[in-house]
Amino acid sequence: MKDLSRLVLAFVLLALFSCKKEDSQSKKIDDSEIRDRYFNLEKIGWKSRAYTQKIEDIGFTATEVPIQYYFLKDQGTENLKTVDSLYEENKRERVIEFTFQQDEEKDLLAKDFTGMEYTDAVKYMSFGLDKDFYVVTSKKDTIRCSGVTYERSYKIAPYQKVMLFFSGIDPNDKIQLVYTDYLFRKGTIKFKFKDTYTPLAL
């Protein structure tokens, strides 16, 4: 009887050890796959190609930035599984950098360009610009901008830059950004993103 219980105990321990070994191997594979995905994103520069439309003396540039970039900036690279989990929870979000630049690098928020006082133009960039943007997905869904963050340069940088946020977009969908320019009165401008940079697509 003792031999039988020893044999059963040995079998249970062997089974537990092999399960643990399999778990650690699958964990290594998962970690390796995640690391490869983020390495590939880093290798392509973390951004989609910049799309620029020029109207008269103002250039309008839109660049999509994968949301994983912001999670890595916040969380670091120590635990990529945490970053990957955050991505899974937020993968239907899109972030687009949008810049405005005048040919001679003049301050675009001056009254000459906007027709309004400087402080009113700053307020518009900060609080009114979100209604001027929307995205059309490859499935023909129209998604309104859910928020804008204006990166104030205090006249140091030769451009004005905002971050645009959109929600509820399939991560594999290609998008077109549509901007109706009320600030500089240049009409409707479209930017078609031909590439998508999500870990699932790599």
Q: Are strands 175-181 and 160-166 parallel, antiparallel or unpaired?
A: unpaired
How far apart CA 47 and CA 11 sit, in angstroms, is: 53
Query: Which pLDDT score, from 0 to 100, does residue 45 have?
Result: 53
Return the axis-axis angle of helices 67-75 and 80-90, rounded to nearest 10°.
140
Region 13-37: mean pLDDT is 50
State the pLDDT at residue 123. 94
Confidence band of 166 (pLDDT split at 50, 70, 90): very high
CB 198 within 8 A of CB 44: no
Mean pLDDT of 4-29: 44
* Residue with the larger pLDDT of the pair 4 and 66: 66
| pLDDT (0 to 100) of residue 3 | 52
Q: What is the pTM of this model?
A: 0.74
Query: Which pLDDT belongs to residue 54?
Result: 94
Residue pLDDT, tens place only, 46-66: 566 788 999 999 999 999 888
Spatial contact of 48 and 97, defined as CB atoms under 8 Å apart: no
What's the whole-number average pLDDT of the chain? 79
Average pLDDT value for residue range 110-119: 94
- 28, 81 contact by CB (below 8 A): no
Q: What does the pLDDT read at residue 32? A: 67
Other C-beta atoms within 10 Å of 88: how many?
10
Separation CA 184–CA 116 (nearest Å): 10
